[in-house]
Amino acid sequence: MEYLSSETTHYVDADGSPVEIAMMKSGLPVTVHYTRAGESLVATKVVLGRARW
């Protein structure tokens, strides 16, 4: 799924603590909360999951 982020998008870890956007790496699990804006999906909150190795 592709989504847009904005200056109001919140990035947090699984415990709800803020994380830097740089921690979002390809392949890591995330949960994206979003709203529709026309044909686009705009993320309101992105939750970084725990990696399973």
3-state SS assignment for residue 1: coil
Cβ 48 vs Cβ 23: under 8 Å: yes
pLDDT tens, residue order, the chain (53 aa)? 788 999 999 999 999 999 999 988 888 999 999 999 999 999 999 999 876 66
3-state SS assignment for residue 18: strand
